[in-house]
């Protein structure tokens, strides 16, 4: 795990697994943690890492309900987890989904945890909307298409935008169960003006992007969605994302969109 400051009031923590990002945002004396790293050792170290930098969180946020984004309470079991209304609906409709997926991936990668995942106290947040953090306000932007649920979190006073599983420089757009190409395209359209206001864009997976790099990824993702809708089996994938794993994801996207 590594921790990098992208602003005096923002630290990005990146897991050794899947280049998975979490970001701590601070305003005044308050901080919140968006998403989470993956490995038990990373989660165990996280409170000390953040405390040493003055980022002890008062609450947790998750951009969506995928298991790798909701592990914050394993590091901070006494804190509540804030999620979009759409994510709360998903959690209620599919109880235990994150726990089962985590167990499956842990077993596949030989990961042992000291205790099972518990989402505990979960708070539903109106999205789009605003959320107070110290003297400032976070802007919450509705996202969908990768899954049926989600939100991006923007701290306008420092220009830091956490987008969850969108705008990744290492992954192509992934249409998971509950997602759709049309909703994904709508999310990119909604994110574009927010990216224009951002200085640093933190994707769920991969390196932090500046504004121009994030806009290039957004345009490449829109072009990929066009190719996906055309049904091309062996398209040219976006630059830096043409790998065997991304082609496997493309094949799953094709299968899922064909059966939609």
For 172-207, how does the pLDDT look when each residue is reduced to its tens digit (9 = 90+)? 999 999 999 999 999 999 999 999 999 999 999 999
Res. 259: pLDDT tops 80: no
- Cα distances from 137 to residues 38, 79, 126, 213, in angstroms, run 28, 19, 14, 25
User: What six digits make up the tokens of 9?
Assistant: 């009031």
% of the chain beyond a pLDDT of 70:
99
User: What six digits make up the tokens of 30?
Assistant: 């308050």
For 130-153, how does the pLDDT look when each residue is reduced to its tens digit (9 = 90+)? 999 999 999 999 999 999 999 999
Report the residue count for the chain: 260
d(CA 105, CA 56): 29
Structure confidence at residue 120 (pLDDT): 87
For 52-82, how does the pLDDT look when each residue is reduced to its tens digit (9 = 90+)? 999 999 999 999 999 999 999 999 999 999 9
Q: What domains are defined for the chain?
A: 2-258 (3.60.15.10)
Structure confidence at residue 251 (pLDDT): 96
Structure confidence at residue 260 (pLDDT): 66
Structure confidence at residue 128 (pLDDT): 97
pLDDT (average), residues 214-223: 98
d(CA 118, CA 99): 8
| Full-model pTM | 0.96
Q: H/E element holding 52?
A: helix 40-52
Burial status of residue 78 (CB atoms within 10 A of its CB: 0-12, 13-18, 19 or more): exposed
% of the chain beyond a pLDDT of 90:
97
């Amino acid at each position: 795990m590594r921790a990098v400051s992208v602003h005096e009031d923002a630290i990005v923590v990146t897991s050794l697994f899947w280049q998975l990002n979490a970001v701590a945002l601070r305003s005044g004396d308050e901080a919140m943690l968006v998403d989470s790293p993956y490995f038990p050792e990373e989660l165990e170290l996280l409170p000390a890492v953040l405390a040493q930098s003055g980022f002890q969180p008062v609450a947790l946020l998750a951009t969506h309900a995928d298991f790798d984004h909701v592990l914050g309470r394993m590091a901070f079991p006494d804190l509540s987890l804030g999620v979009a209304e759409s994510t709360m609906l998903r959690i209620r409709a599919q109880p235990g989904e994150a726990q089962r997926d985590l167990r499956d991936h842990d077993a596949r990668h030989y990961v042992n945890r000291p205790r099972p995942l518990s989402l505990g106290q979960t708070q539903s947040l109106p999205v789009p909307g605003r959320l107070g953090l110290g003297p400032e306000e976070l802007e919450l932007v509705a996202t969908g298409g990768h899954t049926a649920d989600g939100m991006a979190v923007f701290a306008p006073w420092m220009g830091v935008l956490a987008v969850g599983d969108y705008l990744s420089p290492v992954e192509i757009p992934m249409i998971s169960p509950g997602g759709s190409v049309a909703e994904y395209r709508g999310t990119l359209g909604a994110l574009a003006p927010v990216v224009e206001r951002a200085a640093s864009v933190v994707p769920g997976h991969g390196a932090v992007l500046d504004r121009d790099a994030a806009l290039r990824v957004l345009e490449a993702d829109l072009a990929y969605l066009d190719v996906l809708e055309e049904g091309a089996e062996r398209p040219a994938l976006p630059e830096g994302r043409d790998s065997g794993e991304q082609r496997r994801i493309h094949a799953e996207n094709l299968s899922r969109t064909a059966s939609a």
